[in-house]
Structure 1
C-alpha cells in the first residue's frame, strides 16, 4: 500500500485494497456520484469498517497538526533572553571580580542583589505565562466531537478524528461538520459557516453541481469542517480530512506566519543597548579622568580607580528595571483579567496601548451573531422592535412612541405569530442564558413575539399538524396549524417576492382586501426599502381552511390563495456597547476597521451604524482586493475601512499592508478564518466564548466575554502602562545620572570644592561604593515600583497613539534626565562644599560629616525627583496625593535613610556619622532644589507647547 499524504487534497494517487482512489481536486465543480466513485465508495452503503481503518492508518487522524509543546526548561530560559538582562549579568561578573580584587571579604552584596533581581524577573515572566496558558486551556476544554457516518450500510457514530476520505457523512440539525465533504443529498439543509467565512446568515446547501470555481462562502454543494448544521438533513462524501481541509489550509498559513516582537520589546532592546554603551563609556571616562588628575603610584591606587569605575557602572545601570517592568506589566495583566481580558504575554498589554488600528471581524465581535427582527412592515405602517439578540426583551415603537394604532398592532401581531408557527427553531432559557436551537433567522420570530403584546398568546392557541420544510429552490416553508375554536390555517413564510405570487389578498386591520396591482407594488416597494437598509426580509402569509379534513398531508398545492400579512426586517445587530467603544477609540486617534466575510451591503450598513464610516460608504470586496496591483494595496488600506466577502489570505494581506505603512495593528476575530491575521498582527485578540481553539491559540489576548468594548478599555490600560513605564524610566535614569555626575565631578573637581583637603589621602571619592549601593537599594526599588502603578495624571485617550518611530526615551526626555541628574550632582557636591574646609564655601566639618550630608542630600533629592517624574510637563503638585504607594515608599525610604545615618551599627557598615538639625536642614533644602528646578523646566515646556499649538491653529485656520 502506497504511503498517502496527510493532506487529503494532495497530488498523489492512493491505493487501498486494489482500488485506485484519486482525491478530487475541486469537488464543487464535479458531480457528486463522480466524486464518490473517485473516492472508491458506494454512497448507498458507505465504507467497510476495515477499509475505513486502512485509510485512517494511511492518511492519519482527522486532526490539525499541532506544534510540539515547548519544554519547561526552554520556557524558563526564554525569560532571560533580554539585552537588559545580559547587561545586568555582565554587571554581576564585574561586581564579583571587584569584590575578589578587594580580597573577597564579607559577601559580594552588589552581585547578589543584581542576581536576585534577574531571577525575580524571570520568575514573574514564567508564572504569568503559566497562568495565561492555564486560562487558555480552560477556555478550550470541551468534549471530543463525533460524527454520524454510513459504514457498510449502517449508521454509526464515530469520533470526528477517525473520519476518512470517502466516508459518507449523515448530517442532521445541530451536528458539527467533522470534515470537508461534497453534498450528495440535501433536504432544507442549512449550515452556519460564520466561524470559517464570517458570513452571519446560515448557507443553504444543495447537491447541484457548481458550474465554476467560486469563493469558499459561495460553494453551496460543499460542507466544511468547523461549521454546524442549523436546519435540515443531508448526506455528503468526505473529500478532505486533517490538514487537507479548508481549516487545515488556514492552519498551514498560521504555521508560516511570523510573529513580530512587540513595540515595547523593540524599544526596551534599543534602550538596553544604549544603556550598555553608556555604562562602558562612563566607566572608561571616569577611570581615565581619575587617573589623569590623581597620581597613580601604587597597585592600591589602581584598584581604587578600577573600583570607582565599577561602582559608577553599577550606579548607571537601573538594576531594578527588568523586575519593575515585569511587575508593572503583570499588574496590568491582572487588572485586565478582572475585566475579562486574558493576556498571554506580558508585553502584549503595552502593545494595545500603541495600537493605531483595530481591525475587527464583524460577526460575533462587533455584532452579537444573533439574528434579530427590528422592523415589521404591514399595509398600515411600520413597527420598530427594540432590544437585540436572543433575550426576549424590548418594546414595539412607531416613530419613537409606543405602538397604539389598533389596526397596525393587529397586523404586526399576526405577522409575528405566523412566523413563529411556520418555524422549526426553539428558544429556551437555561442557566440564566437564552439559547436557540435551529435556524437563527427562524428563532428571531420566537424572540420578537415576546416583545409585542398578545403575539405569544396567539401562538400558544395553535398546534402544528404538518409542514412543508424550507428549501433553497422554493424559498419558503409552510405549516398546517389548528387552533381549536380558532380553526385551521395554512401559515407560510419565505422570500416576499415568492410569497406574494401565491397571495390573492392582504390583511388590513381586521379586514382582508384584494391584492390588486397597486397593493402588490406597495408591498414590493416596502421590501426594497428594507433591503436597501441592509435588512434581510421575510414575508408572512396565511389562509383559513374551511374544511380541515380536505388538507393533509400538506403539499405545495395548499400554498395558494394566501392572505399577505407583511414583511419583517432581520439583521445581526451591533452589540450595544460597541458604538461607544468605537467613538472612544476614534477620540484616542485609533482607526477602527471592519474586515468580514459577510455581504458588502450588510457590512457597510453595520459599519455606518457603529460610526466606523460615514453613512453611504461602501465596502471593498475580497475579489476587488485580489484584482489590485501589489503597489496599490497600501494606498487602499490607508483610505478604506470596510472590507467584505474576504478570504483568510485577504485578511492577512490587509494586516501586512497596514504594518508596512508603520501601523501598529490589533486584529480581533473569532473564526478559524481570522487566525492567520491574528497571529500576524501586532496583537491578535480572540473571542473566548465564540472563538475557535485555533483562533485562541493564534491570539496574544483573549476576551473571555467577547466584548469589543473590553478592547478599547485595554487600549487605555496599555497607554497608562506605557506612561508608567516612562515615569519610572525617567526616575531611574535621572536618579542614576545624579549619582554618576556626583562621583564624576566630585573626583574631577575635588580640589576646587574642598573634597580631600587635609585628608592625607591621594585619591578621595565623594561617595563610597557601599553608599552608592544603598542609594540604589532604597531609591531605585520602592518609588520606582510605586510609579509603575501610578494613576493617570492626564487623559491618555485624549492624545494620538504612539507612532512606531517614536522613542521610548525621546530627545526631550533625555534632556530632562540629564538636566535633573546634573542638578542632583551639583546640589550634592555643593552640600559637601558647604561643610568642608576650603572650596567655594568655607566650612569646618570632617570629610566623613560632609560626605554623610552629601549622601543624604542625594537620597532626598531622588525622593523629590520621584514626584517630578510622574509627568514630563505636568506639575508635581497636580494630583499630589493620588498615589498612596508612592508616599508610602518615600516615607519608608526617609525612615531608612535616617536609620543609616543615626544608628551606630549601620554607620559602621556605610561609613556615615550622625548629623545635627542644621546638617539635616541644609541637606533637605539642597535636595529640594531638584523639585523647584524641574517645576521651572516644566513651566517653560508647557508655555512652549501652548505657543506651538497656537501657531498651528492659526496656520490651519489661515
Structure 2
C-alpha cells in the first residue's frame, strides 16, 4: 500500500477547490487538513449535509431543453420562409382589393406549405431527441465513502468536498479527488483525456504543475478504476470538477450555422430581390406600353404584378428541402447514424476535413496482443479487439509445432495467470472486466490452441499486486495435476529482466547470458519503436518461499527473484479494420483526415501511419507545442501536420477554429467529454453512440450508433448526393417559375404583335389567368420537384473534391441556364398561342382567346415536365439513364394526366378557364414543349466542350 510521505512541498497560490493549496503539489495530509476531514474516519453525516446544502449536488449543469413553442418558432426563422410569408401577405392584400370574393386559394396554399414545413422540422427534431435518449444509459452512479468512520454507499450526486472515497476495481469515480493511499491503482481516463491506456495512480505529491493526464495523484469524476484499490479525499464536485470545466467550455462555445443553412439563406435573400425586381419591372413596363391611366386598370396591373411575383417564388422549396433532408436522415438511420438536425446531413457532404479522435473512434479501444517475441523468434497474432478470433503466424505462415510455439504458449499462459481480469461473452459481444492489458492476455491465449488448457491446470494461491514503483505483478499458483507451486510474473521488460537468471528455450531452461539479455532488450526496443506497449513474462518453478494452500497470507515482492524469462509481448489499441478503407475513400474525395488525441505521441503517430492518415516518419504535434503557437503559426501548422497528441480540450478547439478560419468545413468526431467543446464548435460534430459520454452526445449534431468511422464516410457520400439533388430541384423549380414569368411578361408586352390584344376587349389582357398560374405552381412545385430531391446518384460523387464554402447553390452558370430555359419556354408557349389566334406573327389561326390561352398554358406545363429531365444534371444529357428515377417518371405521368383533366373535364374547365383542345392542338403543344429539351441538350454540349477544354488546358 503506497502512501504520501513527502514532508516538504511548494504550494500554488492559485489553487482550485481546496483553497490556498494545489492538491497535486501538496501532501495528502495537508489537503485533508485544508478540507477539514480525517482520512481515516471521513466526514460526519451532519457536516456532509451542511456542505451539500452549501455547494449543491455533485452534478453537471444541464442545458434546459428547448420548449415546443420555441422549436416551432425556430422553423419560421429562415429567409425563404420570410419570402413566402411576404408573398402570402401580398396575395391576401390582392384578394382583398379584388373584393374578397371566393376563397383566397393562393393564400391558403402558401400558408399550408409554410405550416407543413414547420411540422416536418419539429417532428424530425423530436424523433432525433428520442433516438438520442434511447442511446443514453440512464443509470444513477453510486460511490463508497467513509462517513462517521463507517463505510456507506451514497449516490454520487450527494458527494461533497472532503468526502473520503474508497475506490476498488470496476468503480466509477464520483468526483475529483486527491489520493491518500493506493495499492496497484490504475484508472482509465480515456473519456476525459483521450489516453487509451489506464494511468497508474499514487498518492505522492507532484514536483511541478502538470496537465490533467499527468496528474497521477488525482482521480477525476467520470473515469473508471481498472485495477487496484485506493482512498481519496474529494477536492471538487459538480461544475468545479475537470468534467465540469469542460462543460463550462462547452456552454461558451458558439454553435455555427451549417453551410446549407448559410447557402439557403443567401438563396432566399437573392430570390426576394429578384421577385421584387420582377414585380416592379412588369408593372412599370405594362403601364408604359399600354398607357394605363384609369384607376381600375392600374389595380388590374398591380394585381398582375403581384401574381407574377408570387409565381416567381418557389413556394414548395422549403417543404421539399425538409422532406428531402428527412429522407436522407432516414437513410442514415438505417446505417446507425442518428442526425439531430436536418441540415447536418448535407453538411458532411461539404466537409473538407474530418478531425477524428483516436481512442474508440479510429481504434477499437480494446488493447490487443499482436506480437510475441521469444528466444526462438517472433509470433504474430491476427484479429483485433476482445473477440478471441485470429490466427497465429510466424514469418507469414501458420505457426507450427516446435520450440517457438512452446515458448509462445508459455508466454500467454503465464500472462493469463499473472492476471486479475476476466473475459466475458454476452450476446456475441466480448468484453473485459478489469484492466484492458490483463484482458489482452486472456484474449490472446484463446487464439493460440492449447494455451487455455495450460491455464486451466492451475489454481491461484496468492499474489503480489501490481505496483507503479515495481512496474510488475506476480501470482503464486499450484499445478492441479503435479501439486507443485509456480510463480508467474509479468511487467516492464527491463525491470523483469533484472530479476531473471535463466531463459526458456523451447521446453528447456538455459542460463540467461549477457548476449541473450541484450537480445531480449533489443526485442523490447524494436517493439517500442513501433509504438507497442511492451510487457515481459517470466516464471519460477517449485520455489520454497511460495505457499502451498489457497488460504496462505498475502505475498510480497521478496519472492520475485531468480525468474526464468520467457518473452515479451507487443500490445496496442489496434485500428478498426473498417477505418483504413474509409480513410482512403475520404482521401479519394479530397477530404483531409486529422487525428487529434490525448494519447501518447508515438502511439498516435504509429496508428496514423497504419491508417494512412500521415506518411511514415511524420511525428505527432504535442499539446504543449500547440499551446506555445500563436494563431498564425497554428494556421500554418494545421496545413502541414495531420496528427496531434496529448492535446487538451482547448487545443482541439484551436485546431478546429484554425481550419475554419482557412475556409474549411470541419467534421469533428469524438467520444470523450474532452471532445465535446470541439464537437459543438465544428460545422458538424459526430459523437460515438456506444462509447460516447452524455455530454458529447448532447454537443453533437450526429451520433453514430455503431461507432463506425466508415459510417461517417457513408454520410459524406449521402450529403453530397443530397446537395446535388438540392441543386437539381432548385434548377427545376426556377426553370418552371422563370418560364411562367417570362410568358406572362412578354405576353402582355407583345400582346398586340401576338394577336392577343385584338382577341379580347380587356384593357390589360394576360396570356395566363391567375388560376392557371396557381395550378402550374401546384403541379410543378410538388410531386416532380420532390422526385428530383430523391434522384439516385448518377455520377461518382466521391471522385470530386469538396465544394468550396464560396460555391453557390445557384451560381452564374445556373442563372444563365435558368434565363435561357425560361426564354425558350416563353417562346414555345407564346408561339403556340400566336399559332392559334387570328392575326399576330403567325397567320392562319382561327381559335378563340380561351382555346389559344389553354394551348399556351398546356405547352408551358408540358415544357415544365420536360425540364425535370434536363435539371437532373447541368452537363450530362437528359437521355442518360432516363428511367433510373421511377419517382420522377411517376410524378411527370401524374402531372400530365392532371393537366389533361384540367383541359378536358367540364367542371375543371370552368374552374381554371380552359377550353377543349383538338388532336391538332395537343400535337402542337407537345411539339413546342420539346423545344426546351433540344435547347438544353445544345447548351450542355457547349458546356461539356468548354469543361474539356478547361481541363485539358
Does 2:521 align with 1:524? yes
Could you say which residue in structure 2 is the equivalent of 1:725? 726
Matched residue of 1:389: which SS?
coil
After TM superposition, the score normalised by the length of structure 1 is 0.96
Could you say which residue in structure 2 is the equivalent of 1:734? 735
Change (3 A) 1:84 1:11: farther
Map 1:444-523 onto structure 2 (within 5 A): 444-486=440-482, 487-523=484-520
Could you say which residue in structure 2 is the equivalent of 1:904? 906
1:816 offset after TM fit, Å?
1.0
Mean Cα deviation higher: 297-306 or 264-273: 297-306
Q: Which whole-Å deviations, capped at 9, do the CAs of 1:738-767 have from their partners, x for residues lacking one?
A: 001101111111112222224223211111
Contact 2:187 2:223 in 1 (8 A): yes
Does 2:215 align with 1:219? yes
Mean Cα deviation higher: 199-208 or 838-847: 838-847
1:380 offset after TM fit, Å?
0.8
1:34 offset after TM fit, Å?
0.1
Cα separation, 2, equivalents of 1:171 and 1:914: 88
Contact 2:729 2:785 in 1 (8 A): yes
Could you say which residue in structure 2 is the equivalent of 1:560? 561
Contact 1:10 1:23 in 2 (8 A): no
Cα separation, 2, equivalents of 1:13 and 1:911: 83
Change (3 A) 1:216 1:744: same
Does 2:933 align with 1:936? no
1:446 offset after TM fit, Å?
0.2
Cα separation, 1, equivalents of 2:631 and 2:110: 51
Change (3 A) 1:12 1:452: closer
Contact 2:361 2:707 in 1 (8 A): yes
1:848 offset after TM fit, Å?
1.1
Cα separation, 2, equivalents of 1:888 and 1:838: 39
Could you say which residue in structure 1 is the equivalent of 2:612? 611
Cα separation, 2, equivalents of 1:580 and 1:741: 51
Q: Which whole-Å deviations, capped at 9, do the CAs of 1:37-86 have from their partners, x for residues lacking one?
A: 00000111100001000000000111111122222111111111111111
Mean Cα deviation higher: 642-651 or 69-78: 69-78
Cα separation, 1, equivalents of 2:413 and 2:759: 105
1:413 offset after TM fit, Å?
0.5
Contact 1:541 1:562 in 2 (8 A): yes
Contact 2:222 2:243 in 1 (8 A): yes
1:548 offset after TM fit, Å?
7.5
Could you say which residue in structure 1 is the equivalent of 2:891? 889
Map 1:664-703 onto structure 2 (within 5 A): 664-703=665-704
1:534 aligned to which of 528, 531, 551: 531
Q: Which whole-Å deviations, capped at 9, do the CAs of 1:524-573 have from their partners, x for residues lacking one?
A: 00000001010000000011116587776433222111111000000000
Change (3 A) 1:816 1:491: same
Q: Which whole-Å deviations, capped at 9, do the CAs of 1:385-434 have from their partners, x for residues lacking one?
A: 00100001111011221011511000000000000000000001123221
Matched residue of 1:469: which SS?
strand
Cα separation, 2, equivalents of 1:234 and 1:950: 70
Contact 1:315 1:740 in 2 (8 A): yes
Contact 2:825 2:863 in 1 (8 A): yes
Cα separation, 2, equivalents of 1:251 and 1:556: 43
Change (3 A) 1:11 1:142: farther
1:93 offset after TM fit, Å?
1.0
Mean Cα deviation higher: 502-511 or 361-370: 502-511
Could you say which residue in structure 1 is the equivalent of 2:309? 313
Could you say which residue in structure 2 is the equivalent of 1:834? 835
Does 2:591 align with 1:590? yes
Cα separation, 1, equivalents of 2:643 and 2:783: 48
Matched residue of 1:506: which SS?
strand
1:416 aligned to which of 412, 424, 429: 412
Q: Which whole-Å deviations, capped at 9, do the CAs of 1:101-157 have from their partners, x for residues lacking one?
A: 111111000000000000000000000111111111222242110101100100010
Cα separation, 2, equivalents of 1:871 and 1:297: 47
Cα separation, 2, equivalents of 1:363 and 1:481: 35
Could you say which residue in structure 2 is the equivalent of 1:790? 791
After TM superposition, the score normalised by the length of structure 2 is 0.97
Does 2:773 align with 1:772? yes
Matched residue of 1:449: which SS?
helix
Contact 1:771 1:910 in 2 (8 A): yes
Could you say which residue in structure 1 is the equivalent of 2:437? 441
Cα separation, 2, equivalents of 1:788 and 1:692: 35
Could you say which residue in structure 1 is the equivalent of 2:6? none
Cα separation, 2, equivalents of 1:667 and 1:24: 38
Cα separation, 2, equivalents of 1:772 and 1:642: 58
Mean Cα deviation higher: 73-82 or 529-538: 73-82
1:488 offset after TM fit, Å?
2.1
Q: Which whole-Å deviations, capped at 9, do the CAs of 1:852-901 have from their partners, x for residues lacking one?
A: 11100000000000000011111111121111110010000000000001
Mean Cα deviation higher: 63-72 or 246-255: 63-72
Unaligned residue ranges in structure 1 (runs of 5+): 1-8, 15-20, 952-958
Contact 2:185 2:201 in 1 (8 A): yes
Cα separation, 2, equivalents of 1:41 and 1:702: 43
2:258 aligned to which of 258, 262, 272: 262
Does 2:270 align with 1:271? no
Contact 2:462 2:547 in 1 (8 A): no
Mean Cα deviation higher: 854-863 or 554-563: 554-563
Contact 1:76 1:122 in 2 (8 A): yes
Change (3 A) 1:883 1:549: closer
1:354 aligned to which of 350, 357, 378: 350
1:342 aligned to which of 338, 342, 348: 338
1:709 offset after TM fit, Å?
0.6
Map 1:147-296 onto structure 2 (within 5 A): 147-296=143-292
Q: Which whole-Å deviations, capped at 9, do the CAs of 1:631-655 have from their partners, x for residues lacking one?
A: 2111111111000000111001101
Contact 1:832 1:853 in 2 (8 A): yes
Matched residue of 2:361: which SS?
helix
Contact 1:350 1:718 in 2 (8 A): yes
Mean Cα deviation higher: 297-306 or 705-714: 297-306
Cα separation, 2, equivalents of 1:777 and 1:682: 35
Map 1:944-955 onto structure 2 (within 5 A): 944-951=946-953
Cα separation, 2, equivalents of 1:630 and 1:460: 59
Map 1:11-410 onto structure 2 (within 5 A): 23=19, 25-410=21-406
Aligned residues: 937
Matched residue of 1:363: which SS?
coil
Contact 2:12 2:22 in 1 (8 A): no
1:297 offset after TM fit, Å?
4.1
Contact 1:607 1:613 in 2 (8 A): yes
Cα separation, 2, equivalents of 1:541 and 1:306: 95
Mean Cα deviation higher: 540-549 or 72-81: 540-549
Contact 1:469 1:477 in 2 (8 A): yes
Contact 1:23 1:239 in 2 (8 A): no
1:818 offset after TM fit, Å?
1.2
2:919 aligned to which of 906, 917, 920: 917
Could you say which residue in structure 2 is the equivalent of 1:627? 628
Matched residue of 1:793: which SS?
coil
Contact 1:827 1:926 in 2 (8 A): yes
Q: Which whole-Å deviations, capped at 9, do the CAs of 1:302-348 have from their partners, x for residues lacking one?
A: 22101110110011000000100100011111111111100111111
Cα separation, 2, equivalents of 1:550 and 1:530: 35
